[in-house]
Amino acid sequence: MIFRQLFEPDSSTYTYLLACAETGTAALIDPVIDTVERDLEMIQQLQLKLAYTIDTHLHADHLTGARVLRDKTGCQVAFPEVEKPECADIPMKEGVPLQFGSIILDPLFTPGHTSHHFAYRVDNGTQYMVFTGDALLIEGCGRTDFQSGDSAILYRSIREKLFTLADETLVYPGHDYNGRHVSSIGQEKERNPRLGMAKTEAEFITIMKNLDLPYPRKIDFAVPGNEQCGRCPKNVPAEFQGPCVRFDQGE
């Protein structure tokens, strides 16, 4: 399997490139509109064919690159079935794997950060990897105070769905704000200060209630834009309009 972990610094978002080494068929998990050119250049350099973009959820901190990448490459847009936008092509369903070449991606329904969040697990031939989006982060987790977030539901998603995976499963999060790249299920079960060390649901809910996080600076345009697979809406502030202008994505 060909694998690349790519970083978008403004939103601290990780995008993941997965490709079948035999067929050159590729997918991008959580692409960002700001870094579409980088992603296309890497796909060209590796002589790959992009088959899918796959989002873990409707992001509030960036616009997805799904629509632009489909326009540029003819790939299909995959999205969790729970709230799949009409513009998306493929509903991701738990228990229904997505295969491209020899790679089989296993969707896991992990709501709580949002009501429709999915994680994706893959066997790389040596061990399992799980792309946890904003549900489980390295020594953290996604916030639950907007987009139908629910701390109790997120606790159960992580403890009952992700923490039941093999300890050696590699955890690749949707974000990291401290320069970290990868963890493991075993490490998060032991060290995650919000969820590990046998934290109870009540303890977790209290932690999440007291985070006192700022209002997401891109949410007012990112969510409606991502409901259209990454089309820039009219209310994108001037400082964030660069990708919209480059790709003629404004409404």
Q: Which pLDDT score, from 0 to 100, does residue 233 have?
A: 94
Predicted local confidence at residue 3, as pLDDT = 97
| Range 216-240 average pLDDT | 95
CATH topology of domain 2-237: Metallo-beta-lactamase; Chain A (3.60.15)
175-207 pLDDT, tens digit each: 999 999 999 999 999 999 999 988 999 999 999
Quick check: 250 pLDDT over 60?
no
The answer, yes or no, to whether residue 22 has pLDDT greater than 90, is: yes
Site of tokens 């700022």:
214
Q: What does the block give as tokens for 89?
A: 């092509």
Mean pLDDT computed over every residue of the chain: 96
Cα separation of 131 and 98, whole Å?
14
The tokens for 207 are 């932690």
How far is residue 22's CA from residue 194's CA, in Å, rounded to a whole number?
A: 41
Question: pLDDT tens-digit profile of 53-96?
Answer: 999 999 999 999 999 999 999 999 999 999 899 999 999 999 99
47 pLDDT higher than 60:
yes
Any idea of the CA torsion for 176, 131, 212, 240, to the nearest 10 degrees?
A: 70
Q: Are 112 and 118 in contact (CB under 8 A)?
A: no
* pLDDT band per the 50, 70, 90 thresholds, residue 50: very high
Mind listing the pLDDT tens digit for each residue in 133-182? 999 999 999 999 998 999 999 999 999 999 999 999 999 999 999 999 99
pLDDT at 251: 46
Amino acid at 22: E
For residue 26, the Cα-to-chain-centroid distance in whole angstroms is 16
Which tens digits make up the pLDDT trace of 211-224? 999 999 999 999 99
Tell the burial category of 143 from Cβ atoms under 10 Å away from its Cβ (0-12, 13-18, 19+). middle
- Answer left, alpha or beta for residue 125, where phi above 0 means left and psi between -120 and 50 means alpha: left
Per-residue pLDDT at 249: 58
Distances (CA, A) of 226 to 50, 77, 92, 99, 203: 20, 12, 16, 24, 33
Contact 26, 5 (CB under 8 A): no
Annotated domain spans of the chain: 2-237
Three-class DSSP labels, 176-239: CCCCCCCEEHHHHHHHCCCCCCCCCHHHHHHHHHCCCCCCCCCHHHHHHHHCCCCCECCCCCHH
Burial class from Cβ neighbours inside 10 Å (0-12, 13-18, 19+) for residue 141 reads: buried
